[in-house]
Copies of this chain bind each other. A is one copy, B any other.
Amino acid sequence: MNKRRITSKELAKLAGVSSATISRAFSPDSRIGSATRDRILAVAREYGYQPNAIARSLNNQRSRLVALVVNAIGNPCEAEEQQLLVHRLQARQLLPIILCCADHDDRLQLMRLASTYQVDHVVVFSDMVSMQDAVDIFHTTKPIIVSFEPLENEKVSSIRIDGSAAADEIIDKIVTDGKKRFAYLSGTKSSWIDKLRRKWFADALARRGLTLQAEAFGDYGYDSGFKEAVLLLHRAKVDTIICGNDVMAIGARDAARRVLGKNTPDDIAIVGQDGIAMAAWDCNDLTTLSLDHAAFIDAVMELIERHDAELEGPHSITLTCTARWGSTA
């Protein structure tokens, strides 16, 4: 019963043709008589034959595998995009391999492992991996790398994100509401995207002659948002906390309410970033600097399709964030 999968040679014998003809029956546009093809497909169905994708990949130099480098699977701020991307890839018959690793060295190891599988594309969702590392690891092979970090390199296509206008809108509203002392709660210390996001808000404040009064660093998780907000509110008299993502914002909101007894938006304003679905839930109703996830994934797919079609070198797309209003600011 542990029957080995039937091979094209065996099927060829059964159908009374050569294995080359079997192969042709499964390639849409190849010189083959339509009667022969129909007969082969019938026999194939009967014996449950399917061409072996591994062998095909070896020959083709095209694996149809795509490596997705992500920070985490559980974290909702990336999950929505991951989900969309996976669907889009699958629709193009591309199979996503997930690379997910907290530790830096392990991650490099993992990327090296994936590169031996001759993946056709690499999408780096994580801002924890340096683009230079990614290029070094994948440079001997074909894949184009799609990432946020705009590295000037012939192998890297990137998607730039601009949230400065939306940050300005949000700060405008908060200042109008009378808030005066702002804190920024970063996702991580080393993250490239986090620095960028912070700059949008810092610049928006600077334009009004204001500055950040306090700062803290978390890990993009709820608990860190909660804990850092408690410390922050004890340390500095701030009336606004801008958070690195929505999950930390929810943590900060809970901390303010539970530990300090402060409510949004009157006592304190809380701002998230990402615009995940959960932020709009009735119990959260977060004001957040939001990215259009569908548009983002459209952009990723556009870059991948460009590369598939062997259009020239890398390319870059810029997306603009919008403000999404809730009751927290």
Q: List residues of A whose CB falls within 8 A of some B CB.
A: 1-6, 48, 50-55, 57-58, 63, 65, 72-74, 76, 79-80, 82-83, 86-87, 90, 93, 95-101, 106, 110, 112-118, 139-142, 154, 222, 226, 250-251, 253-255, 257-258, 277-278, 281-284
The residues of B that contact A141 with a CB separation of less than 8 Å are 5
- Give the residue of B52, B73, B118 whose beta carbon is less than 8 angstroms from that of A73: B73
With A100-B87, A118-B52 as known contacts, state yes or no: A154 contacts B1, CB within 8 Å.
Answer: yes
- Give the residue of B3, B6, B140 whose beta carbon is less than 8 angstroms from that of A48: B140
Q: Which residue of chain B is the closest to A72 with respect to CB atoms?
A: B83
Q: How many copies does the complex hold?
A: 2
The residues of B that contact A63 with a CB separation of less than 8 Å are 54
The residues of B that contact A74 with a CB separation of less than 8 Å are 76, 79-80, 82-83, 277
Q: Which residue of chain B is the closest to A1 with respect to CB atoms?
A: B154
Q: Please tell me if the beta carbons of A95 and B97 are within 8 angstroms of each other in the complex.
A: yes
Q: Please tell me if the beta carbons of B90 and A283 are within 8 angstroms of each other in the complex.
A: no
The residues of B that contact A140 with a CB separation of less than 8 Å are 3-6, 48
Q: Which residue of chain B is the closest to A222 with respect to CB atoms?
A: B281
